[in-house]
């Protein structure tokens, strides 16, 4: 098309009655309608004369071009055995024998059966009203209808039958009706039935009286006056659309295919219709992996007949040496259940190039050198193992429970992964660190990966990063990792099928009721709990079978009490484990949580932090069967942490009483039982210690008076210490706990009052990692174990004083007016909310009522996408901050999505003007432009329209009789 485009412009200018758009429409019609239709007809005629093979040729999923090494090329084949060559020779020798160089790819499927073809003859009704009831059924008599060959329509070239639109160009028929009969001798060989449809504008298709397809028409009952949802234009008018048809609707013997085609407007300029059915047998899908540049030639052979030749040339990319950021450890199984012989690590190629792994080295507790010629394609995975034999027994035996196909194993390492944690690294041949991770079996690293059946895997292996330093830092964050859902891990694949059921809320210590566990379905669609099990122990996971009669509704909840569970949760701390199992073999962990020692009637449940990580934490109140409450905060909170001071600085932790009452740091009935601060540091508060309402206290690693003197602090400030141990510069858990009522055996439970697991990397403030700042909680009543609830202090911290912050203020959305946009045109609309807090908080956005094709960015507030349905939509936008409880703002507005404006010629007026019209949108500016010369493309603005309220816009244009030809166009500004 491009090669003759300039000639088309010259021809348009020369003759005047053809425009470039009309040439393009004619070309699209030939490409999409004429050529495909004639191809089927030609092949059918040649086969009928014995001049073309009766066996269909194999079809490649990609017909030539660039392909990555080892990437499977899918081959669809009908009857016969498929033979191929890679050296450019024909698999078939002259005379019909199989060539010596031909390789068998495998057996194809059954032969395809043709039911109807395009350009068939149809009965049609174009009289401007609906036919009698039952016109779609088999026994309807259509002999009085007209007859014509498809495509049927008007207004475009290439119509075999021109339909009558009613005589008046501005009052054309809205709907047209079509029927054709065909016979099927034997439907047993048909395994797939496909409807092919060409329509302008909308259509409903029926097979034997049952609707099988509806395209560009509204739901519900269809009448003669029902209009199509949008106008088809350009290549859309002749585009071929595919619909799968249920096989049970097809009959042996006589069948009827019926259709009704509807227009968007009585002034529509054109109409087009054709439809046909394709029936397929059991086609086979074979696979061919290309290692290098090749000319692939394929034929099918049934022992007597050969198919036509399928031929294509493929180019493969050369593998490139990896750079930091290309590869990462995507799974680490460091402490498998059963035996360390099942240990493995997995490597992922995150890049878009094949990577050369030759002589790369894995070091740490294990050693492995990749062999010469090793390579890894984009998005592909490979595995290195402790022992090949045990690994193959567990994961590569097709009869095994944990079989995983297509695992690529690079080999065995020497050494052994440390169950207590260690650093492993991947080094380039020049010693460059490509990727590394220092995993651990303690702290906030996933507990399930430490011998309980899971492996370690990244939450998002394709995470974004600002620089290589951040890339390495993210990989060493425990929050970046999760325990695998699949039991024994998922070597050689990324598990995308995590169940949507979660353990959502629990009561583990009740003196007035019973313990209970709440499950929640986060996804769409109900979940049957068949083969689901619940337990309070990893060692005995099948304590309660949930059963197929228990169903969690879509986004719903289900609560189980200890009486029906058959077990109670321990007030001294308990696990909750939900699994899927068959024959008492765990298939996957659905979810698991650990509840610490809990006070009476304390509720624990899921809370999603601003960074997307979910904690199972103490909540404000019980909400069984509904959305969880906010986290419980206080009465005393960790308000500041100086974990990595400058060389002359001192470590400290600051606590603040955020209530209006004095808090005793001991059991008021047992003064010897005191509050404790623990983690990398340990301190027991002295009996009798109290914190007044709003008071700030400090805990230090040295004697309190020495600490006060060195930092010049006020004499009235309470300072406790020294603690034992030290705050870890690499991050750790700091926990404040209070004593509960002693158990009968003397055990004193310790209940969590507040806890913070800080880290020295983003999203935690990095200025606190040795650069002079401390971590300061802001605001005080926020959830403490959330990195976005902390800011960096000024130099040397603010021990004993709180940051000067206003109370939390709600975010503010701007007022949004009615907004109009065009159908099938990409849209980007920024909803810019403002957060008045200092520092400003991350905001999240939600929407209701967006049309199909548009979404809103949860963290960006950008509405984007391509709208695919027309109409006016009531949109509601809600913005929330990340405080607890969250503050919100909401705004609503109307969004109109309309078809692209088209300039329609409506006739010559009595005053001699040319009359046009177009559908205008609200609050839009349009221009009518003209040119006398399409070659120069010099367009002159004739008239500008500023539209406040949309609708049908008439235009009258004076005809200049001194100009032989003139071209007009409509632009939306």
Q: Three-class SS string for 539-579? A: CCCCCEEEEEEEEECCCCEEEEEHHHHCCCCCCCEEEEEEE
- Tell me the pLDDT of the chain averaged across its residues: 88
Percent of the chain predicted with pLDDT > 70:
92
What pLDDT score does 861 carry?
87
Higher-confidence residue of 440 and 969: namely 440
Least confident piece of the model among 486-490, 493-497, 596-600: 493-497
Gyration radius of the chain's alpha carbons: 36
pLDDT of residue 457: 97
Is the Cβ–Cβ distance between 176 and 261 less than 8 Å? yes
Mean pLDDT throughout 120-126? Answer: 93
- Per-residue pLDDT tens over the stretch 188-245: 777 788 898 999 999 999 999 999 999 999 999 999 999 999 888 776 788 888 898 9
Task: Please list, in sequence order, all residues whose beta carbon lies within 8 angstroms of the beta carbon of residue 160, skipping any fewer than 6 positions away.
Answer: 119, 148, 149, 150, 151, 152
% of the chain surpassing 90 pLDDT: 54
SS3 string, 737-780, reads EEECCCCCCCCCCEEEEEEEEECCCCCCCHHHCCCCCCEEECCC
Strand partners, 296: 312
Is the pLDDT confidence value at 839 over 70?
no
Measured between alpha carbons, how far is 945 from 949 in angstroms, rounded to an integer? 11
3-state secondary structure of 795: coil
Average pLDDT rounded to a whole number, residues 915-939: 78
- Give yes or no for a contact between 758 and 764, defined as CB atoms under 8 angstroms apart: yes
Residues 6 or more apart whose Cβ sits within 8 Å of residue 342 = 333, 336, 386, 387, 390, 391, 394, 488
Note whether 532 and 579 are within 8 A (CB): yes
Q: Please, are residues 155 and 161 in contact by the beta-carbon 8 Å criterion?
A: no
Mean pLDDT of 579-596: 95
Do 607 and 617 meet the contact criterion of CB atoms below 8 Å apart?
A: yes
Tell me whether strands 732-739 and 724-725 are parallel, antiparallel or unpaired.
Answer: unpaired
Of the spans 21-25, 330-334, 886-890, 930-934, which averages the highest pLDDT? 330-334
> What does DSSP say about strands 696-700 and 719-720: parallel, antiparallel, or unpaired?
parallel
Residue 135 and residue 273: Cα distance in Å, rounded?
18
Could you tell me the pLDDT band of residue 1, with boundaries at 50, 70 and 90? very low
Residue 529: left if φ>0, alpha if ψ -120 to 50, beta else—which one? alpha
Mean pLDDT of 856-866: 87
The answer to whether residues 638 and 782 touch, using CB atoms and an 8 Å cutoff, is no
Let me know if the fold of 59-111+284-316 is the same as that of 501-619. yes
- Rounded CA-CA distance 745/717 in Å is 39
Q: What is the pLDDT of residues 360-371, one digit of tens each?
A: 999 998 999 999
Instruction: Please give the pLDDT value at position 904.
Output: 80
DSSP designation for 31:
I
Asked if residues 584 and 542 have their Cβ atoms less than 8 Å apart, the reply is yes
DSSP-derived letter for residue 40 is H
Rounded Cα distance, 650 and 712, in Å: 12
Phi, psi of 273 (to 5 degrees): -150, 135
Total H helices, total E strands in the chain: 7, 70
Least trusted range by pLDDT, from 456-460, 534-538, 863-867, 905-909: 905-909
C-alpha 465/C-alpha 486 separation (Å) is: 28
pLDDT confidence tier of residue 334, bands split at 50, 70 and 90: very high
Please report the pLDDT score of residue 75 as a whole number. Answer: 87
Average pLDDT over residues 457-484: 91
Residue 16 has pLDDT above 90, yes or no: no
Architecture of the domain whose range is 327-483: Sandwich (2.60)
**Has domain 114-280 been given CATH number 2.60.120.260?**
yes
The domains of the chain are located at 2-48, 59-111+284-316, 114-280, 327-483, 501-619, 636-792, 819-898, 904-972
In this prediction, residues 637-663 reach a mean pLDDT of 93
For residues 224 and 126, the answer to whether their CB atoms sit within 8 Å is: no
Report pLDDT for 362.
97
Residue 936: predicted pLDDT: 65
CA–CA distance, 121 with 887 (Å, rounded to integer): 65
Q: What is the DSSP string of 469-483?
A: HHHHHHHT-GGGEEE
| CB contact at 8 A, 561 and 515 | yes
What topology is assigned to 59-111+284-316 in CATH? Immunoglobulin-like (2.60.40)
What are the structure tokens assigned to 327, written together?
């590869």
**With 60 as the cut, is the pLDDT of residue 416 above it?**
yes
Contact 151, 273 (CB under 8 A): yes
Are the CB atoms for 750 and 740 separated by under 8 Å? yes
Q: What is the predicted pLDDT for the residue at 261? A: 97
Span of 142-156, 230-244, 795-809, 851-865 with lowest mean pLDDT: 795-809
What integer is the mean pLDDT of 664-669? 95
What phi, psi does 470 have (nearest 5°)?
A: -70, -35
At 282-314, the pLDDT tens digits run 566 777 888 777 789 999 998 888 999 999 888
- Which pLDDT tens digit goes with each residue over 17-46? 556 666 666 777 676 666 665 666 566 556
Q: How far apart are CA 218 and CA 416, in angstroms?
A: 64
pLDDT tens string 489-510: 999 999 988 999 999 999 998 8
CA separation for the pair 281, 167 (Å, rounded): 46
Q: Is the pLDDT of residue 2 over 50?
A: no
CATH 1.10.3470 assigned to domain 501-619? The reply is no
CATH topology assigned to domain 819-898: Immunoglobulin-like (2.60.40)
Question: How large is the average pLDDT for residues 146-168?
Answer: 90
**pLDDT per position as a tens digit, 423-456:** 999 999 999 999 999 999 987 899 999 999 999 9
């Amino acid at each position: 098309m491009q090669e003759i485009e300039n000639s088309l412009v010259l021809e348009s200018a020369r003759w005047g009655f053809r425009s470039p758009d009309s040439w393009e429409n004619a070309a699209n019609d030939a490409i999409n309608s004429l050529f495909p239709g004639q191809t089927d007809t030609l092949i059918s005629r040649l086969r009928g004369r014995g001049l073309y093979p009766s066996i269909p040729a194999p079809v490649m999923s990609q017909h030539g071009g660039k392909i990555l090494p080892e990437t499977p090329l899918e081959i669809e084949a009908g009857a016969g055995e498929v033979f191929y060559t890679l050296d450019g020779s024909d698999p078939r020798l002259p005379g019909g024998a199989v060539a010596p160089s031909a390789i068998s790819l495998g057996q194809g499927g059954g032969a395809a059966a043709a039911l109807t073809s395009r350009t068939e003859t149809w009965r049609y009704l174009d009289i401007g009203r609906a036919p009698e009831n039952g016109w779609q059924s088999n026994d309807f008599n259509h002999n009085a209808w007209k007859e014509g060959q498809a495509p049927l329509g008007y207004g475009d070239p290439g119509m075999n039958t021109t339909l009558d639109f009613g005589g008046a160009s501005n009052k054309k028929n809205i709907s047209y009706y079509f029927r054709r009969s065909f016979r099927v001798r034997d439907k047993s060989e048909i395994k797939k039935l496909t409807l092919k449809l060409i329509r302008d504008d909308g259509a409903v298709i029926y097979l034997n009286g049952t609707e099988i397809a509806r395209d560009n028409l509204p739901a519900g009952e269809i009448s003669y006056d029902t209009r199509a949802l949008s106008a088809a234009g350009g290549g859309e008018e002749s585009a071929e659309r595919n619909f799968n048809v249920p096989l049970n609707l097809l009959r042996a013997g006589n069948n009827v295919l019926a259709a009704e085609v509807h227009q968007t407007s009585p002034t529509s300029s054109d109409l087009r219709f054709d439809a046909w059915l394709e029936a397929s047998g059991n086609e086979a899908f074979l696979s061919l992996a290309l290692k290098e540049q090749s000319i692939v030639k394929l034929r099918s052979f049934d022992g007597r007949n050969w198919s036509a030749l399928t031929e294509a040339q493929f180019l493969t990319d050369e593998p490139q040496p990896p750079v930091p950021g290309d590869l990462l450890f995507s799974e680490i199984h460091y402490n498998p259940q059963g035996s360390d012989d099942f240990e493995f690590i997995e490597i992922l190629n995150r890049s878009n190039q094949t990577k050369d792994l030759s002589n790369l080295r894995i070091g740490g507790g294990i050693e492995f050198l990749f062999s010469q010629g090793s390579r890894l394609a984009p998005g592909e995975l490979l595995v290195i193992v402790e022992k090949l034999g045990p690994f193959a027994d567990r994961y590569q035996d097709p009869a095994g429970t944990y079989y995983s196909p297509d695992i690529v194993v690079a080999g065995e390492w020497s050494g052994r992964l440390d169950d207590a944690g260690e650093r492993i690294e991947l080094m380039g041949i020049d010693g460059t660190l490509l990727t590394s991770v220092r995993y651990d079996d303690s702290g906030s690293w996933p507990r399930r990966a430490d011998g309980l059946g899971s492996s370690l895997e990244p939450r998002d292996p394709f995470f974004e990063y600002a620089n290589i330093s951040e890339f390495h830092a993210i990989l060493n964050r425990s929050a970046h990792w999760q325990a695998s859902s699949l039991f024994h891990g998922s070597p050689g694949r990324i598990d995308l099928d995590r169940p949507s059921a979660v353990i959502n809320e629990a009561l583990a210590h009740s003196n007035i009721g019973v313990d209970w566990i709440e499950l929640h379905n986060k996804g769409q669609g109900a979940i049957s709990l068949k083969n689901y099990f619940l337990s309070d122990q990893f060692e005995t996971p099948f304590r309660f079978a949930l059963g197929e009669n228990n169903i969690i509704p879509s986004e719903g909840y289900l609560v189980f009490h200890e009486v029906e569970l058959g077990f109670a949760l321990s007030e001294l701390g308990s696990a909750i484990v939900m699994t899927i199992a068959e024959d008492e073999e765990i298939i996957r962990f659905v979810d698991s949580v650990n509840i610490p020692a809990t006070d009476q009637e304390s509720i624990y449940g899921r809370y999603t932090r601003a960074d997307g990580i979910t904690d199972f934490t103490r909540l404000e109140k019980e909400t069984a069967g509904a959305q969880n409450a906010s986290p419980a905060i206080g009465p005393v909170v960790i308000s500041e942490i100086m974990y990595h001071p400058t060389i002359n600085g001192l470590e400290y932790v600051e606590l603040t009483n955020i209530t209006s009452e004095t808090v005793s740091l001991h059991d008021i009935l047992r003064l010897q039982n005191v509050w404790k601060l623990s983690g990398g540091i340990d301190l027991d508060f002295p009996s009798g210690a109290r914190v007044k309402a709003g008071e700030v206290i400090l805990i230090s690693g040295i004697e309190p008076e020495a600490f006060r003197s060195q930092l010049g602090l006020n004499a009235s400030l309470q300072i406790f210490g020294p603690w034992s141990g030290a705050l870890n510069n690499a991050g750790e858990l700091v926990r404040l706990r209070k004593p509960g009522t002693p158990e009968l055996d003397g055990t004193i439970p310790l209940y969590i009052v507040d806890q913070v697991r800080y880290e020295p990397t983003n999203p935690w403030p990095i200025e606190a990692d040795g650069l002079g700042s401390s971590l300061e909680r802001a605001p005080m009543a926020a959830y403490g174990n959330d990195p976005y609830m902390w800011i960096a202090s000024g130099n040397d911290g603010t021990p004993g004083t709180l940051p000067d912050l206003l109370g939390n203020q709600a975010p503010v959305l701007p007022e949004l007016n009615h907004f109009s946009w065009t159908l099938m045109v990409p849209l980007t609309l920024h909803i810019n909310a403002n957060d008045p807090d200092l520092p400003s908080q991350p905001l999240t956005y939600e929407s209701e009522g967006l049309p199909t094709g548009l979404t809103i960015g949860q963290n960006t507030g950008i509405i984007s996408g391509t709208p695919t349905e027309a109409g006016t939509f009531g949109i509601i936008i809600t913005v929330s901050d990340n405080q607890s409880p969250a503050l919100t703002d909401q705004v609503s507005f109307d969004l109109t999505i309309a078809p692209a404006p088209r300039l329609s010629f409506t006739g010559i007026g009595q005053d001699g003007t040319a009359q046009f019209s177009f559908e205008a949108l609200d609050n839009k500016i349009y221009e009518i432009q003209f040119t006398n010369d399409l070659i120069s493309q010099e367009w002159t603005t004739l008239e500008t329209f500023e539209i406040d309220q949309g609708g049908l816009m008439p235009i009258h244009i004076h005809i200049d009789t001194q100009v032989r030809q003139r071209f007009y166009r409509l632009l939306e500004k």
